[in-house]
Structure 1
Amino acid sequence: MDIELYLPRIVDGPLSSLIQAVPVVLVDGARASGKTTSASRLANSTLRLPQDLALLQSDPLQVLTSMKRPVLIDEWQLAGIEVLWTIKQIVDADPTPGSFILTGSVEPESYGSTYPLTGRSARVLLRPMNRREKLGAGNEVGWLDRLASGEIFTTNPNGDRAELDLLVESGFPGAAPKHDPREWLRAYASTVAERSVAERRDPERVGRLLRVLSELESQAVPDETVWRAADINRETLYSYRDMLARAHVVTPLPAWETNRLKRITSYPKRQLVDTALALALAGIDANELASNPTLAGRYVESFVVAQLRPEVDAAGGYLSHLRTRGGDQEVDIVIDIGGQLIAIDVKAGVNPTPRDARHLSWFRDRMDARIDASVVLHRGEATFELVDGVWAVPISSLWSTS
């Protein structure tokens, strides 16, 4: 993206606030998600790695102290953990907020107690663009705020229909202008696999695991199902999965945890960082989704989660799902913000019925005091109350600004 044509990102506000509050801000996220573009707007000087790696390594302390702050180090992980120790030395001597911005595509193995910048830094996660951001509305009032005010239920009784074609439109800025983004997305996955060699992983197995996960999108299945389908063993799955998670390519939706409900599954829902990426790797197009409602349901759910993640991140909340063992009761998405809950079921159809509210009604009966809203998101155009306390709302409301 050209900075002159910059599309506001939801993370821009939190990022600007952190730069005014702490000496070092780390911007993590999947490769090609727009980290450099967003961070560059707030920096006064920049080191781009690997291009400037030799300069940085020649005398890290002298180079970094001579640059006008905030200093952006792009893809900092290519310089190794040593650069963080140099930054620690600098900010310990001068803890001025907004001294350094570090962008990285692969998290270090740990942000634990031995991490040099503990107590001196904060981090934000930049995800691929959601549709609201792609429409240029990333800095406008978001869906969660409109839901909290009740505006969602009164100002958008008839929204736009969320067509299945939207699912194959990637949130990676680099894929957007391509004639066939699937080629770009498959090449992206190949690059992820090839770069895994640096961490002593087999790129063929990494690629195979990504394809299996793309076919299991939004399914809560045991680890054994995954490693058998990928033709690898358990230890390899855990090693490769953790590597892909640190690269922000695999973003599972964890199971919600509570001691108030019994017999809840602990399996996460398998999800890749971008729904279009999952579809490209699985070889599924919009026509196949239209002809297979069950398949469409899984990927529509993944798409909705991807729309919500940046907003939930900015609100300091958490996303999860709930499923009882045996699958008798299921809530597709549980958003927890400061202990208050928003329960969401996602329907790929356009005409939800009261029956579609049954899982949310069950959940409200058991968690009523903590439920802020219960919503069935659907691909149709109408907003209305399905049953007492459960609303049907168009998926398009996630990016609508009116």
Structure 2
Amino acid sequence: MSGYRARIVDRIVQDALVTFGAVIIQGPRATGKTTTGLQVAASSIRLDSSPEIVALAETSPSTILTGETPRLIDEWQLAPTLWNAVRHEVDERAVPGQFILTGSATPPDDITRHSGAGRFRRVTLRPMTLAESGESTEAFTLADLFDGAKIAGVGGPTVEEYTELLVRGGWPALVAQPNRSAQDYLSSYLDDVARVDLPHADLRADPLRMRALIRALARNVSTEISATKLSKEAEIGASDTEVSAQTVRKYLDALTRVFVIEEQPAWATHLRSKVRLRTLPKWHFIDPSLAAAALGANRRMLLDDLNTLGLLFESMCIRDLRVHAQELAGSVYHYRDEVGLEIDAIVELNDGRWAAFEVKMGGTKNIELAAHNLTVLAAKVSEKRSGQLASLNILTAGTTSYTRPDGINVVALGHLGAA
């Protein structure tokens, strides 16, 4: 397709079609799921093109599934009966690479209760990383950090440019058309969440309360915060009416289902000591630009508020780490224990290897503190987990990457590339 900007998930989707009967490309609206699927699809149909198509999918799913393969079915969750229809068709054909399903919402568990194990592979398409949008020098990869390679790199975005990229986000439309107003685009995106996205996913939320919760989440991005605390922060209008903790929990689940937010779970590991681990997740928007838009923050405002900028930069690092980790079949966690040691990100691969990341905007003192925390963590984990440690890393908003004499990598986010 002309003008297509390659995505990291492209290879994952292609590889999955060799093994699985169907691949599900899931993720937030406006990240390019359909466009990505069309790169490998031989035929396609969009369920959101008309109500009649949805009705046809419900009454005669075999008609929807008929076509050259791989066949792309866009917004498949609008006709939930397609899940079982695809499952049965995959079994009947007994050939991989039959269907690509794309959707902006995760259906309820009762829709997918019949297992897709061995038939479906889920791939999440998040907003673009700096490598995908062309802002990274791609000096090295996450795989290099897991292979123990010494790293080096210079150049890339400055702090001011990182801030601009953070406000714009990794949305393909804004990357392709930089003259568009990110604030207007993303404010409209957030307005549509409760009014359009959730109803389409068969979810209901009061728009006023949902927007209040989104603002509260934006103020607490990259932090551990409970539903109870969020309910106290999500005040509405002059009456200061709180959103109940029960409503907050329901709304958090709804926002997760439509891929507006994503939790960063706590890392569960064995320690040498009796110190207990904290288990609350951190919350991130699927892209930090949504948090900036919810706060009404532009580049200048963030540069004047370095604390908020630091939290949003951490969230941008988590976004990119998640995309790169998926390429390696890995997951992203965070670490915190009862004595106060906190590590911003732990990337763990399926084979048990892990790498730890502290996020700092920059500054010698901050980098030394991060290095100390990483060293303390490495000494705390069990002997087995210590043997699976691949690397200790400090992610920065700098323009220089290098491996320190103690073996800890200082990694400029704008140097990280695709494997």
What TM-score comes out, normalization by structure 1 length?
0.90
| 8 Å contact kept, 1:324–1:330 | yes
Q: In structure 1, what is the Cα distance between the partners aligned to 2:338 and 2:155?
A: 36
1:132 aligns with 2:145: no
**Shift of the alpha carbon at 1:358?**
1.1
Task: Tell me: CA distance 1:136–1:86, structure 2 relative to 1, closer, same or farther (3 Å).
Answer: farther
SS at 2:254 equivalent = helix
Q: Choose the corresponding residue for 1:234, options 242, 245, 250.
A: 245
| 8 Å contact kept, 1:8–1:136 | no
- Quick one: percent identity of the two aligned structures? 28
Post-superposition CA distance 1:289-311 (Å, at most 9, x none): 22232222211111111111111
Q: Choose the corresponding residue for 1:388, options 406, 410, 415.
A: 406
Q: Choose the corresponding residue for 2:298, options 260, 285, 300.
A: 285
Q: 164-173 or 244-253, which moves further after superposition? A: 164-173
Name 1:35's counterpart in structure 2: 33
Name 1:315's counterpart in structure 2: 328
Name 2:393's counterpart in structure 1: 375
Q: In structure 1, what is the Cα distance between the partners aligned to 2:89 and 2:254?
A: 30
Name 1:199's counterpart in structure 2: 203
Partner amino acid for 1:130?
A: T
Name 1:7's counterpart in structure 2: 5
**Shift of the alpha carbon at 1:104?**
0.6
Name 1:341's counterpart in structure 2: 354
SS at 2:282 equivalent = coil
Partner amino acid for 2:182?
A: P
| 8 Å contact kept, 2:135–2:157 | no
Name 2:104's counterpart in structure 1: 105
**Shift of the alpha carbon at 1:204?**
1.8
1:217 aligns with 2:221: yes
Post-superposition CA distance 1:301-335 (Å, at most 9, x none): 11111111111012111101112236x31111111
Q: Choose the corresponding residue for 2:146, options 137, 145, 148.
A: 148
| 8 Å contact kept, 2:335–2:346 | yes
Partner amino acid for 2:190?
A: A
Q: In structure 2, what is the Cα distance between the partners aligned to 1:94 and 1:385?
A: 51
Name 1:259's counterpart in structure 2: 270
| 1:13-28 correspondence to structure 2 within 5 Å | 13-28=11-26
Count of aligned pairs between the two proteins: 394
| 8 Å contact kept, 2:400–2:412 | yes
Partner amino acid for 1:60?
A: S
Q: In structure 1, what is the Cα distance between the partners aligned to 2:396 and 2:120?
A: 40
Task: Tell me: CA distance 1:221–1:133, structure 2 relative to 1, closer, same or farther (3 Å).
Answer: same
**Shift of the alpha carbon at 1:395?**
2.3
Partner amino acid for 2:297?
A: I
Q: Choose the corresponding residue for 1:365, options 379, 382, 392.
A: 379
SS at 1:110 equivalent = coil
1:89 aligns with 2:88: yes
Q: In structure 2, what is the Cα distance between the partners aligned to 1:84 and 1:172?
A: 28
Q: 344-353 or 380-389, which moves further after superposition? A: 380-389
**Shift of the alpha carbon at 1:244?**
0.8
| Unmatched 5+ stretches in structure 2 | 235-241
| 8 Å contact kept, 2:332–2:345 | yes
Name 2:120's counterpart in structure 1: 121
Task: Tell me: CA distance 1:111–1:256, structure 2 relative to 1, closer, same or farther (3 Å).
Answer: farther
Q: 69-78 or 229-238, which moves further after superposition? A: 229-238
Q: In structure 1, what is the Cα distance between the partners aligned to 2:270 and 2:110?
A: 29
Root mean square deviation, CA, Å: 2.4
| 8 Å contact kept, 1:350–1:379 | no
| 1:179-198 correspondence to structure 2 within 5 Å | 179-195=180-196, 196-197=198-199, 198=202
| 8 Å contact kept, 1:56–1:63 | no
Q: In structure 2, what is the Cα distance between the partners aligned to 1:365 and 1:64?
A: 56
Task: Tell me: CA distance 1:111–1:37, structure 2 relative to 1, closer, same or farther (3 Å).
Answer: farther
Q: In structure 1, what is the Cα distance between the partners aligned to 2:418 and 2:107?
A: 37
Partner amino acid for 2:325?
A: V
Name 1:355's counterpart in structure 2: 369
Name 1:331's counterpart in structure 2: 343
| Unmatched 5+ stretches in structure 1 | none
Task: Tell me: CA distance 1:113–1:299, structure 2 relative to 1, closer, same or farther (3 Å).
Answer: closer
